[in-house]
Amino acid sequence: MRGGIAMRSKKHGWVPAVLVGAAAIMTACGDSGNAKAGDAPTDSGESASFTILNNDGGESYAKQAMKDDIFYKEMSRLFSEHSGKPTQIAYEFLPAADFSQQVTVRFASKAVTEVIATTSITDKGHPTAVENGVFTDLTALIDQYGPNLKKNIPEYIWKNPRVSKDGKIYGIPKMLTPLDPRAFLVRKDWLDKLGMKQPETLDDYLAFFERVKREDVNGNGDPNDEVGFIARSDLGQSQIFFAAFDLFPGVWHVVNGQFIPDIINPKMKDAIRFYKLLYDKGYMNKDWITTKQADWSNEILNDKVATWQTDLRQLAGFSKDSFASKKGVVDVLPGFRDESGTFNLGYRGLGIAKVHVVLSTTKHPERFVQFMDWTYSNDQKKTDFFAFGIKGRNYTEENGAINWEGNNEMNKKEKTFVETMINPSGDSRMDIRVIEKAGIVDPSVLKRGTDYTAKNMYDDPSINMELPEVLQTKPELGYAGGSLFMDMFSRVVTGKEQPDAAFDKFVADWKKRGGDEAVKQATEWYNKNGKK
């Protein structure tokens, strides 16, 4: 759990050489009726119905699903049977591109559904809804009706400003599966060809990358077209090596009594020097500043990359047949081992995919909490539904064994819709049974990757801190493309500036432009909320 955070400092053995107004929302929903903590109503067991407004994510089935869709009916039937309470659940999908704006319009036209699957309780489509009593305070309802919610959703998430405000819970999250799906992949077939073990320390990685650079590991006759690691513009899917220095862009730590972002942490100098070493030695692609996602993917699948950072949910895209050679075998790496033997894969992200909010005018909000609790339970019928669909339609069962063909014509069209679009608790595409039956991803690789994210990733001390106000209006003080940090990082790595002087100048400029005030606000927050 990410409540109490221990500061960590370890050596890894490498020495560097449209907003709706309050009145519109109030008119749409009223300012009374939202349950207050301690007011959890008793469920009478009478019939209840809910429609969940969600974005379609560009998914084809979601775009055309009607309110009486067969999958909504089956989901409702299963929950009604499980709870013994007649309940109808349906979704209404809006285009993903302008979902927040569409929600704003819905509020203004009084056409809002009982539940919204939004990004945050303060999403730009309803920024003042909590203050105006538009959303139900779910705190007491979750205490009474949500044992599986409390068991399976980490405590720190309930405290996050995307879910709660002033100690009251207004949203029920849908979590990523796994909670942080970060993965660091390696071409295992190349390791085997070179007779090398998986790299663990930074020195191990450098030794592996040197062999990749010198030897024709892809076997195409050109010993100079492979790189050890591929990075891309603005460090997208390229931040993994910061973990070896107990840093990560976006994370904040206490340094000399101040809560500061890692981008200005003095240790960042060594991390930048390491990336520069990769660049200078040819262990990393020289064109990383202009490498886009499509270029990144092409290089990997054309057998030119030894290691890369990705998402466990994308493992199927790196199957053996995906590579040009049809020989690529990948494995997951545990991160970076320090002198104590501890591995570090980085800091966990928040892991929230959606936040379900219940309007204060909704009848039987306690039933919706029970529905959400069911989706987080171990009820087998529920689990099978979200993994495989409707029995007799999408799969059959014989002597307890499920027969499911994920790639037949029907399931290809419907499986993503069931597994994740209408699954309010996660993503069943990562269900190990689904993985096994699909036959594309090695289940043992997925299991190792999931284990690594659980064991080798660490709590982010700043995970529940709202971004200091000055940083919300000055993106140049962040770490994304166009920021002062990214400009400095790029210039140092490519040799246009010296590391120490460039970093010190960046930090001074960052502080002068508003960073000092941001650190002051963050330190006040940490001393009040994060310090243990």
Do residue 76 and residue 164 come from a single domain? yes
> What is the predicted pLDDT for the residue at 353?
97
Q: Is 1 part of a structural domain of the chain? A: no
370 and 326, same structural domain? no
CB 458 within 8 A of CB 347: yes
Give me the numbers of helices (H) and strands (E) for the chain, helices first please.
20, 19
Residue type, 74: E
Nearest-angstrom CA–CA distance, 238 and 254? 25
200-253 pLDDT, tens digit each: 999 999 999 999 999 999 999 999 999 999 999 999 999 999 999 999 999 999
Query: Are residue 207 and residue 119 in the same domain, yes or no?
Result: no
**Mean pLDDT score of the chain, rounded to an integer?**
92
- Which tokens belong to 496? 């246009």
My answer on whether 330 and 230 are in the same domain is: yes
Query: Would you say the C-alpha torsion 200, 205, 206, 212 has a positive or negative sign?
Result: positive
Task: Identify the weakest region by mean pLDDT among 12-21, 43-52, 387-396, 414-423.
Answer: 12-21
Query: Which pLDDT value is given to residue 530?
Result: 75
The token pair at 13 is 């053995």
Q: Are residues 359 and 463 in the same domain?
A: no
Token pair recorded at residue 235:
């460090």
For residues 316 and 405, give the distance between their C-alpha atoms in angstroms, rounded to a whole number: 16
Q: How far is CA 293 from CA 180, 261, 325, 435, in A?
A: 20, 27, 21, 25
**Number of domains the chain is built from:** 2
Dist CA 211 CA 206 (whole Å): 9
Together in a domain, 388 and 325: no
**Which residues have CB under 8 Å from 139's CB, separation 6+?**
37, 167, 168, 169
Flag whether 223 is in a domain.
Answer: yes
CA dist 251 and 259 (Å) reads: 10
Within a domain: 153: yes
Same domain, 186 and 281: yes
The 10 Å Cβ neighbour count of residue 246 is 24
More confident of the two residues 17 and 48: 48
Higher-confidence residue of 403 and 4: namely 403
Do 295 and 191 fall within a single domain?
Answer: yes
Instruction: List beta partners, residue 402.
Output: 397
Instruction: State the burial class of residue 131 (Cβ atoms within 10 Å of its Cβ: 0-12, 13-18, 19+).
Output: middle
Residues 333 and 356 in one domain: no
In a domain, 370, yes or no: yes
Query: Is 450 part of any domain?
Result: no
Average confidence (pLDDT) over 472-480 = 95
Question: Using CA atoms, how far apart are residues 8 and 12, in angstroms rounded to an integer?
Answer: 12
In 3-state terms, what secondary structure has residue 269? helix
- Residue 14: its pLDDT value, please? 57
Confidence of residue 310 (pLDDT cuts 50, 70, 90): very high
Write down the pLDDT at residue 41: 77
Instruction: Count other C-beta atoms under 10 Å from residue 354's C-beta.
Output: 21
What is the three-class DSSP state of 494?
coil
Neighbouring CB atoms inside 10 A of 467's CB total: 16
Residue 375: CATH number of its domain: 3.40.190.10
User: Does some domain include residue 200?
Assistant: yes
The residue among 411, 430, 449 that closes a domain is: 430
Domain span including residue 104: 48-178+351-430
Beta bridge partners of 205: none
Residues 197 and 311 in one domain: yes
Nearest to 157 by CA among 315, 13, 291, 354: 354
Q: Does some domain include residue 40?
A: no
Confidence of residue 25 (pLDDT cuts 50, 70, 90): low
Model confidence band, residue 29 (pLDDT cutoffs 50, 70, 90): low
Residue 4, pLDDT > 70, answer no
- Count of alpha carbons within 13 angstroms of residue 257, beta-carbon side: 0
CB 511 within 8 A of CB 289: no
Banded pLDDT at 13 (limits 50, 70, 90): low
The three-state DSSP-derived secondary structure of 306-360 is: EEEEEEHHHHHHHCHHHCCCCCCCEEECCCEECCCCCEECEECCCCEEEEEEEEC
CB 337, CB 343: distance < 8 Å: yes
HSE-CB at 113 with a 13 A cutoff on CA atoms is: 22
Residues 336 and 189 in one domain: yes
In a domain, 488, yes or no: yes
Burial class (CB in 10 A: 0-12, 13-18, 19+), 243: buried
Helix (H, G, I), strand (E, B) or coil at 369: helix
Residues 6+ positions from 355 with CB-CB distance below 8 Å: 117, 118, 119, 120, 121, 162, 163, 171, 172, 173, 174
Note whether 102 and 153 are same-domain residues: yes
**Beta-bridge mates of residue 169:** 164
3 state DSSP class of 398: strand
pLDDT tens-digit series, residues 128-141: 999 999 999 999 99
* pLDDT > 90? residue 40: no
Give residue 45's pLDDT. 87
Look up tokens 């307890």; give the residue. 400
